Amino acid sequence: MASARVVAMFYLVVSVTVSFFPNYTWASKSQAAIEKDEVMEHCKFTRKGAHWPFEPSKACCQVVMRSVNLLAICNAFTAIDLAQIDLQRWAAVTHSCGNALHEGDNCEIS
């Protein structure tokens, strides 16, 4: 009888714990993919054909400065993203915003 109570309590705790997490958290994007999407949205001067030289927007620099791992953003770029952006400009934006890519970081899809 005691073991049945323990099992019931266990299932109750698991049910309550799981209910605190919305479903979207379980299947959410990685942080790098979210930041990559923000780069694509806010860092327009990284696009091919954009005006050069440029001053990155405040929103763009906020994304760059907030990022802990710019190389992870590079790795999150898809082939479609890479067809739209200029990687030299992306590197210049990271430098201009004060959180430069490290020398040797490679943003190309392997």
Query: Does residue 7 lie in a domain region?
Result: no
Query: Does residue 106 lie in a domain region?
Result: no
Residue 7's φ and ψ, nearest 5 degrees, are -65, -45
Query: pLDDT (tens digit, 9 = 90+) per residue, 77-101?
Result: 999 998 998 888 888 899 999 999 9
- Number of domains into which the chain is organized: 1
- Single out the residue of 108, 72, 69, 73 nearest to residue 88, CA to CA: 108
pLDDT at 36 over 50: yes
Whole-number pLDDT of residue 24: 40
Query: Does residue 57 lie in a domain region?
Result: yes
Query: Does residue 77 lie in a domain region?
Result: yes
